[in-house]
């Protein structure tokens, strides 16, 4: 990390009380983003990646959840901040784009009214000024004839358009950090690419930090500076995007990468992977109420090269030879040999 981080999460833990007992959903996650930087938090459903960011903004109801750790944002600890103060952070401080643009817009309000909401709350703009700026925002996110669109209802718009509107809503208060929670998951592939590119462009323009939450390593490969791979509420591997993709060191990361389809035709000597060859990680992520002792991945792990895997939790440690301000780190007791990629 070159610059001072704008948001630094330190040892964040989220436990949710359930009928079956406490579910340890996030178990000591630490990361940081600097202005202009893009961090991708990757993991499958239930890995705690969404809850970890939602809890930063107080969007996980407490109780039943309890949140500990620190999240330093502009000199304040978000975890300890009371609701009123947190409300001032949401929007101008940290804004979010959610997964499903079909449900994240209110069906009975016009696009314009939803866009001006944040500005009315935080910037104290009057109706006319807010409307003016709303049109500019729609233009910024690439919606044609923005002025007319302000009067549209969400159901007049297609999925990609709605996601653009959501991005405009999130940007309306010029956030320092934009969190995109599976923001492309519900969209089809060509529109995914457009939305990813749009956010990257806006980031360059506005200089905000972006945190991408996704289960799809492919989506973030081109845009992230750093990647943190989460499993069962822990970061199991992190590093600069190139290091991590070129030389994944955790068996789980390798499994994730092997499960991605790769374009290209093997028959022509390319490196493509046929759908039938896509690897599957056997088993399911552990139940957060009954986390296994030791490394949470060990029941599914094909390697298990150390006997401590089943009893001790492997800490994140730098990979041998890792350098730089954001070294490649992995949570294993052993070093895997370089991967044999056919």
Helices 159-171 & 189-206 angle (0-180, nearest 10)? 20
Piece in contact with another protein (CB under 8 A), picked from 107-115, 125-133, 240-248, 275-283:
107-115
Touching another protein, residues 168-197 (CB under 8 A): 169-170, 172-173, 187-188, 190-191, 194
Among 8, 35, 66, 102, binds another protein (CB under 8 A): 102
Touching another protein, residues 111-170 (CB under 8 A): 113, 117-118, 121-122, 144-145, 153, 155-161, 166, 169-170
Among 15, 27, 104, 131, binds another protein (CB under 8 A): 104
Among 105, 150, 196, 210, binds another protein (CB under 8 A): 105
CB 292 within 8 Å of CB 299: yes
Integer Cα distance of 269 and 256 in angstroms: 24
Say how many C-beta atoms besides its own lie within 10 A of residue 302's C-beta.
11
- CB nearer another protein, residue 148 or residue 277: 148
Supply the minimum distance, in Å, between the C-beta of residue 88 and another protein: 7
Largest CA distance in the chain: 66
Among 92, 218, 272, 292, binds another protein (CB under 8 A): 92
Piece in contact with another protein (CB under 8 A), picked from 5-13, 89-97, 248-256, 294-302:
89-97
Piece in contact with another protein (CB under 8 A), picked from 35-43, 65-73, 103-111, 317-325:
103-111
- CB nearer another protein, residue 168 or residue 295: 168
Residues 6+ apart with CB under 8 A from 159: 101, 102, 186, 187, 188, 191
CB 327 within 8 Å of CB 318: yes
Supply the minimum distance, in Å, between the C-beta of residue 103 and another protein: 4
Q: Which candidate, 176, 211, 183, 171, places its Cα nearest to that of 38?
A: 211
Q: Are strands 209-214 and 177-181 parallel, antiparallel or unpaired?
A: parallel
Integer Cα distance of 152 and 62 in angstroms: 36
Piece in contact with another protein (CB under 8 A), picked from 25-33, 100-108, 201-209, 328-336:
100-108
- CB nearer another protein, residue 65 or residue 170: 170
Q: Give the interface size with another protein as a residue count (CB under 8 A).
A: 46
In angstroms, how far is the first alpha carbon of the chain from the final one?
Answer: 33
Tell whether residue 210 is a contact of another protein (CB under 8 A).
Answer: no
Supply the minimum distance, in Å, between the C-beta of residue 138 and another protein: 13
Q: What is the DSSP string of 178-234?
A: EEEESTTTTS-HHHHHHHHHHHHHHHHHH--EEEEEES-HHHHHTT-SEEEEEETTE
Chain residues binding another protein by CB under 8 A are 57, 59, 87-92, 95-96, 98-100, 102-109, 113, 117-118, 121-122, 144-145, 153, 155-161, 166, 169-170, 172-173, 187-188, 190-191, 194
């Amino acid at each position: 990390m070159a610059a001072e981080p704008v948001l630094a999460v330190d040892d964040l833990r989220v436990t949710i009380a359930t009928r079956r007992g406490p579910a340890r959903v996030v178990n000591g996650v630490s990361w940081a983003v600097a202005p202009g930087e893009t961090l991708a938090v990757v993991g499958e459903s239930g890995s705690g990646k969404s809850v970890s960011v939602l809890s930063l903004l107080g969007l996980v109801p407490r109780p039943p959840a309890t949140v500990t750790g620190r999240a330093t944002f502009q000199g304040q600890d978000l975890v300890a901040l009371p609701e009123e103060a947190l409300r001032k952070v949401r929007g101008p401080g940290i804004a979010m784009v959610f997964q499903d643009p079909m449900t994240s817009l209110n069906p009975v309000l016009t696009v314009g009214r939803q866009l001006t909401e944040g500005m009315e709350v935080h910037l104290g703009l009057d109706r006319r000024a807010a409307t003016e700026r709303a049109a500019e925002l729609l233009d910024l996110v690439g919606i044609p004839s923005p002025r007319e669109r302000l009067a549209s209802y969400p159901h007049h718009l297609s999925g990609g358009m709605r996601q653009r509107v959501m991005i405009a809503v999130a940007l309306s208060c010029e956030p320092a950090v934009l969190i995109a929670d599976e923001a492309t998951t519900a969209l089809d592939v060509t529109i995914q690419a457009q939305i990813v590119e749009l956010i990257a462009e806006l980031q360059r323009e506005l200089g905000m930090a972006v945190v991408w939450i996704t289960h799809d390593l492919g989506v973030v490969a081109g845009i992230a500076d750093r990647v943190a791979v989460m499993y069962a509420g822990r970061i199991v591997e992190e590093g600069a995007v190139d290091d991590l993709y070129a030389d994944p060191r955790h068996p789980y990361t390798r499994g994730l990468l092997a499960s991605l389809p790769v374009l290209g035709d093997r028959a022509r000597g390319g490196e493509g992977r046929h759908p039938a060859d896509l690897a599957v990680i056997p088993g399911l992520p552990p139940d957060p109420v009954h986390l296994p002792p030791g490394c949470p991945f060990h029941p599914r792990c094909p390697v298990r090269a150390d006997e401590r895997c089943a009893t001790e939790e492997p800490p994140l440690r730098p990979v041998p030879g890792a350098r730089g301000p954001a070294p490649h780190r992995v949570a294993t007791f052993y070093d895997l040999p370089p991967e044999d990629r056919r």
